[in-house]
Amino acid sequence: MSLRLYQDLAWLWPLWGDVSDYEAESLAIVDDIKLHVGPTATRLLDMGCGGGKNDAWFKRHFEVTGIDLSEAMLSHARALNPECRYLQADIRDAALGCTFDAVFVNDALLHMTSAADLAAVFETAFRHLEPHGVMICVAEITKESFVQDRTEVSVATTHEGAAAQHVTFIENHHDPDPADDTFEWTAVYLIRQDGRLKVEHDAGTAGLFDLPTWRRTLQQTGFNTLEVMRRFDGEDYPTFINLKPG
Ligand SMILES: C[S@@+](CC[C@H](N)C(=O)[O-])C[C@H]1O[C@@H](n2cnc3c(N)ncnc32)[C@H](O)[C@@H]1O
């Protein structure tokens, strides 16, 4: 899905979730990589890295390369993590010409709206891994966990000089057809600057697969997969730890 959030409204991204919110999840991933690859793991590829908020934690442990389609998001990532390498690439067909000890894919997978695209991302990860390397991905929303019309609201305030800016993020998930593999992702942003209100709208189609599809696709890619349930902020997330055979 091509969202305004990654284009003309990408300036909102640093306000939507603080880097500190990413600490627990990122450090759990670091532990997984060290456990499964060993202490020699040094190179990590973050696929669909966005503004680099996970990388702000990963870079303390690994040499990080991030790829993303959006130049606006990559600009945020470069500003946050000048010591990391960032490249514009599509996670479905990237060919970076190098390999990594570990690959991480977070909620960029939400943007895969067909099983073929999901498989293409897993194949990209597989191609970029060393033998015995590990790819970790999180099934943020699945058919099993989907909540119809779930709506979340969060608020952020920033200060530019003396002027305060308040943004209210309203995110809604709606599935008009439970038989297919997609749902409607909609957001409204209430932006108050200098006392003036601007309302922006954002919408796209997101992927929605059941857990058997995730498992089957990972297995068909060639991974040996361990599945664990991780709990962050009161929610459970199926997390797949995928080992590339030697
Ligand atoms: C919700 S953001 C998440 C960013 C980051 N992983 C995080 O958790 O903060 C999703 C990102 O996926 C990127 N993306 C979506 N489809 C992509 C594709 N086909 N190839 C590369 N990046 C993609 C978007 O540009 C966006 O930056």
Q: Do 110 and 140 form a contact (C-beta atoms < 8 A)?
A: yes
On the question of pLDDT at 161 being above 90, the answer is: no
Give the residue-averaged pLDDT of 71-92. Answer: 98
**What is the longest distance spanned by two Cα atoms in the chain?**
60
What pLDDT does residue 139 have? Answer: 96
73 Cα nearest atom in ligand 1: 27
Q: What is the mean pLDDT of residues 180-199?
A: 95
Task: Say which CATH superfamily domain 151-207 falls into.
Answer: S-adenosyl-L-methionine-dependent methyltransferases (2.20.25.110)
* Residue ranges per structural domain of the chain: 4-142+209-243, 151-207
Ligand 1, atom nearest to 117 Cα = 19
List, for residues 1-50, the tens digit of each pLDDT value.
589 999 999 999 999 999 999 999 999 999 999 999 998 999 999 999 99
Round to whole Å and give the CA distance between 171 and 151.
5
Give 73 Cα–ligand 1 centroid separation in angstroms. 8
Q: What is the reported pLDDT for 195?
A: 81
Which percentage of the chain shows pLDDT scores above 70? 98
Rounded to an integer, what is the distance from CA 114 to the centroid of its chain?
17
Separation of alpha carbons 154 and 17, rounded Å: 9
Query: In angstroms, what is the span from residue 227 Cα to ligand 1's centroid?
Result: 23
**Within 6 Å (CB) of ligand 1, which residues are found?**
6, 48-50, 53-54, 68-70, 73, 90-92, 106-108, 111
Answer whether 207's CB lies under 8 Å from 111's CB. yes
**What CATH code would you report for 4-142+209-243?**
3.40.50.150
pLDDT of the residue at 1? 57
Give pLDDT, residue 157. 85
Closest CA to 45 of 73, 85, 5: 85
d(CA 26, CA 60): 11
Counting from 1 in the atom list of ligand 1, the atom nearest the Cα of 70 is: 25
Mutate to test the pocket of ligand 1, among 2, 91, 154 (most ligand atoms within 8 A of CB): 91
